[in-house]
Structure 1
Amino acid sequence: MKTFKKATDPNILKHVNALDNGEITTVSLKHIFHHGSSKYPNLFRRLDVTEENLRTQELASGTSFAYDVMGVNGTGFKYEKDNAVEEFRNISMNELKSSKLDWRDIGKWLPAIKNWGTLINLAKMTYNAYIEMGQEDWYDLGEEYSTNNTFGWEEDGIRGYVFASSDNKTLIISIKGTSMGFGAGPTVPRDKENDNLLFSCCCAKVDRTWTPVCDCYKGGYSCDKTCLQDSVDGESLYYGITLNLVNSIYHEYPNSHIWLTGHSLGGALSSLMGLTYNLPVVAFESPGERKAASLLHLPHPPAIPWDKMNIYHFGHTADPIYMGSCNGFSSSCYIGGYAMETKCHAGIACTFDTVSKLKWSVNIKRHRIQEIIDNILKVWWNLFKLFPDCKNDDECEDCGLWEYIE
């Protein structure tokens, strides 16, 4: 059976720019990667999902793990040097200046972001990343030690769900986001630590009732910038372990078109990986990750252009985490030990105005992935016949009250 078929259904094709080039492929869950962080930094495992256990999991969870997505021919850029990003980071960190990046336009196979069915299915893949597979036949990719008999390894680190077409030409990596709320899962403490490192202004030092997650706070609105940069770039923190995870997939499937997606923290990590590997990204309701990208010294304009990145963020105005309401010191996000203060996104932000059009009030409960799937993506076009407003945040500023001391 062919993996690709010509997209001819007008309902499927609605709002796709390159209609003649749009093709649909079916992807299904193929691997789950689990990488440990601070508790088990050497833990790196892969679960290969067979068709039989996939069907079993679908029946048990009531959730599908196979989806149709549309790809389109588009443009992006390619670095002239294979080690361009590594070189850029080294010069930026060690010489405190931006390097010139040599790049050229190239053709790319990209997710059709204006195709509603594709958007909905990518969002569903981000939901899948929160579902744990109850199996024991994990293959160890990292350093060997007795994780099989160690209690609690599931509580540590991040998960990446890999969806692939039957010919492996298209791979979609869905990175798990933050587990929040009652019964949310065992990774909550480390999710919270990484959220507060990546998306607060200075290690989540909000007031004297908070315990910061690093020692960079200098009093008032002063923060040690070098300390902060070192704090977000640890090998056992989420950027470092996601880098290792994506690098493994990237080199295992060198001839595949790889897309990244994720919700919340998973969307932000997907974007950071997109900046690192120059891969297309569709993120949902992620906090502003541009400050984290700057602290990690990832390439950014003017070294590369925003419109060539193919990084797209989808969110809505009633979600305080996506909108960065805490940047204005609203109490709406300082809940349960989370300080989600940043609001500026890399790439393009496509924002559904749910406050004006759906009369929603701003509420942290609106941050759930089910909200954007069931109550926005599935109904928006029928209600308004409009695609959300999309723009880059190049004039956006995070943490304007803070002074960062070199």
Structure 2
Amino acid sequence: MLFTSLLILASLSTDACSAVQYPLRLIDGWKYDDTYPEPTVSLKGFALRHVYHCGTHDHPSVHRYHDTSIKPRVVETLPVVHAVPMHIEHLVDRRQEVIDSLLATARSNGQAELLSPDAWTIAALLGPNITDKPTVIALAKMAYDAYVPDPSDKEWKPIGPSNHSMFNHSSSFGWDSDGLRGHVFLDETNSTMVISLKGTSMALFEGEGSTRKDKLNDNLFASCCCGQGGHYRWKVVCDCMTSVFTCNNTCLTSSLETKDHYYNAGRELYGNITARYPHISNIWLTGHSLGGVVATLLGMTYGVPVMTYEAFPDALAASRLGVPTPPGYHVGRSRFSDAGIYHYGHTADPVFMGTCNSLLSGCTLVGYAFQSMCHTGKTCVYDTVKDLGWRSSVSSARIVSVISDVLEAYDQVSVCEETSDCQDCFNWKFYESGGSENSTEECLPRPTTHDWA
């Protein structure tokens, strides 16, 4: 039985199932200057209030909530997280219906709609300090906790001493064992929210937990054409390849947009969560692996900061989904402003590095088709191969080992840098069919060079 649930632990008792997207409040008064040290803001912990549940897909009528019988208390804690001012360019109007319309146009045209500069604004807001080691580790632990559906579960990982607390587990939402899942963290003043999305559950046999749906989304996001035209072990997730290295992009984009796929579901969940907290002034996203990719796509869509861990290259997914981007964010061009997207990973992880696609690779052996090479935003790479002598292995991508053996082991946080001259699916051709195989436009190569600043 497939349905999406939304569990929000909040201090509000408003209607649980409105999906209205409220504009984010901006922090006024910040003056950003690269020549001066950035002011740092410390944020601290909160308490549990309510549980909300919204069913979607097969069970859209399931709308329920209850007040918890537990007295307000800090259930889990983590260290103080430091925030700094940053500037992110985003759409002026980010209501769900507006985003839906833009994506529908992109689906019809095969590319993101070009909007006038007036459709965009540059927001001054507080974002996570990407150079602060405790902050980077804290958000990684939030990404880890998204794998654990129940805070009373024995696998729940404590994330810091209570006398230095900032955030605490606030809510779980999304699919339970069959898809997207995540947690919402709030600071004690309810001014900053972190949404952590669950990543890929790797398993040898499909049907274990969310593995089947994870593989479906991974192969749609990261393969050139549905897992077709490659190794026989790759799980084929749609039928859009029409000839050798030729793909029907209309078919592919339509497959990405169906409701049981994570980007669309993520937007619905994001809309519901922000509708429950219209007073929240800062929203951050985080996630590991597939969760990081979905978090990035949502961050690009709504203009909020994102920190991911060992996420596979995501520029291909962002491009083919037609995620709206500001003027200058064209494929193949750099951008002077910062998108607020930061990908943390290390060189021994072939998934993060975009090299887990050979016939005998661990990804291929279990059906994953990771062909994408290019990341959006900036990458913050730890050279574990050179520094620690590690060998490339999918096992090194596990978030637990990344936290303990990389993020905590290194003295300093890796420098985040832009990547240019990166190519995805250079030997493929994509065409638009207008929804019909009998009516096609000329077969042309799709843009393959990504430079997302």
- Normalised by the length of structure 2, the TM-score is 0.72
Match of 1:335 in 2: 365
Determine the structure 1 residue equivalent to 2:103.
Answer: 89
Aligned residue number for residue 6 of structure 2 = none
1:364 Cα deviation from its structure 2 partner: 0.6
Q: Distance in 1 between matches of 2:62 and 2:214?
A: 17
Q: Which residue of structure 2 aligns with residue 247 of structure 1? A: 271
Q: Determine the structure 1 residue equivalent to 2:212.
A: 189
Q: Distance between the aligned counterparts of 1:34 and 1:155, measured in 2? A: 15
| Contact 1:321 1:340 survives alignment (8 Å) | yes
Q: Which runs of 5+ in 1 are unaligned?
A: 1-15, 59-63, 143-152
Per the alignment, do residues 48 and 141 of structure 1 end up closer, same or farther by CA in structure 2, a change over 3 Å counting? Answer: farther
Alignment match of 1:277 (pick from 277, 302, 321): 302
User: Do structure 1's residue 218 and structure 2's residue 236 form an aligned pair?
Assistant: no
| Displacement after TM superposition at 1:181 (Å) | 3.4
Kindly state the Cα deviation for residue 182 of structure 1 after the two structures are TM-superposed: 6.8
Matches within 5 A, 1:7-406: 21-27=39-45, 64-82=76-94, 85-86=99-100, 88-96=102-110, 98-102=113-117, 103-133=120-150, 154-181=176-203, 186-205=209-228, 206-256=230-280, 257-300=282-325, 302-304=327-329, 305=335, 307-326=337-356, 331-381=361-411, 385=412, 387-406=413-432
Distance 1:333 1:245, change over 3 A: same
Total equivalences in the alignment: 368
Q: Greater CA deviation, 40-49 or 87-96? A: 40-49
Cα deviation for residue 333 of structure 1 reads 2.7
Over residues 74-119 of structure 1, what are the superposed CA-to-partner deviations in whole Å (9 max), with x where a residue is unaligned? Answer: 2222434446655543443334564134223331111111100000
Structure 1 pair 170–198 and aligned structure 2 pair: CA distance change class (3 A): same
* CA distances 1:329-387 after superposition (whole Å, capped 9, x unpaired): 77343131111221211111111111111111100100100122101111211xxx5x4
The one-letter code sitting in structure 2 at the alignment partner of 1:160 is G
CA distance in 2 between counterparts of 1:89 and 1:179 reads: 28
Unaligned 5+ segments in structure 2 are: 1-33, 153-170, 330-334, 433-453
The verdict on how the C-alpha distance between 1:178 and 1:195 changes in structure 2, with shifts beyond 3 A counting, is same
Amino acid at match of 2:85: N
The answer as to whether partners of 2:357 and 2:369 remain within 8 angstroms in 1 is no
Structure 1: distance between partners of 2:233 and 2:373: 23
Whether contact under 8 Å (1:317, 1:351) holds in the other structure is yes
Query: 1:190-228 deviations in whole A, cap 9, x for unaligned?
Result: 111111111111111223454511011224222211111
| Identity within the alignment, % | 34
Whether the 8 Å contact between 1:100 and 1:303 is mirrored in structure 2 is no
Q: 1:173 aligns to what SS in structure 2?
A: strand
Q: How far apart are 1:325 and its partner, in Å? A: 0.1
Q: 1:271, CA displacement in angstroms?
A: 0.2
How far apart in 2 are the matches of 1:328 and 1:209? 11
Give 1:28 shift. Answer: 5.6
Letter in 2 for 1:72: V
Q: 1 CA distance for matches of 2:398 and 2:238? A: 28
- SS of residue in 1 equivalent to 2:267: helix
* Bigger helix fraction: 1
Secondary structure at the counterpart of residue 401 of structure 1:
coil
Give the Cα–Cα distance (whole angstroms) in 2 for the partners of residues 44 and 167 of structure 1: 28
| Contact 1:327-1:342 within 8 A present in 2 as well | no
- CA distance in structure 2 between the aligned counterparts of 1:123 and 1:307, rounded to whole angstroms: 25
Deviates more, 1:354-363 or 1:46-55: 46-55
Conserved in 1, the CA contact under 8 Å of 2:234 and 2:369? Answer: no
Distance 1:200 1:140, change over 3 A: closer
> Are the counterparts in 2 of residues 271 and 311 from structure 1 also a CA contact under 8 Å?
yes
Distance of 1:39 and 1:319 partners within structure 2: 37
Aligned residues of 1:91 and 1:99 also touching (Cα < 8 A): no
> How far apart in 2 are the matches of 1:87 and 1:35?
24
Residues 35 and 157, structure 1, Cα contact 8 Å, conserved in 2: no
Greater mean alpha carbon deviation, residues 207-216 or residues 368-377: 207-216
2:217 aligned counterpart, secondary structure: helix
Cα distance between partner residues in 2 of 1:308 and 1:366: 29
Shift of 1:33: 7.6
Give the aligned residue type for 1:364: V
Query: RCO higher in 1 or 2 (8 Å CA, sep ≥ 6)?
Result: 2
TM superposition shift of 1:71: 0.8
Per-residue deviation, 1:278: 0.7
Instruction: Report if aligned partners of 2:47, 2:72 keep a CA contact under 8 Å in 1.
Output: no
Q: 1:131 offset after TM fit, Å?
A: 0.9
CA separation of 1:336 and 1:182: change in aligned 2, threshold 3 A: closer
Whether the 8 Å CA contact 1:38–1:157 is kept in 2: the answer is: no
SS at match of 1:218: strand
Shift of 1:405: 2.6
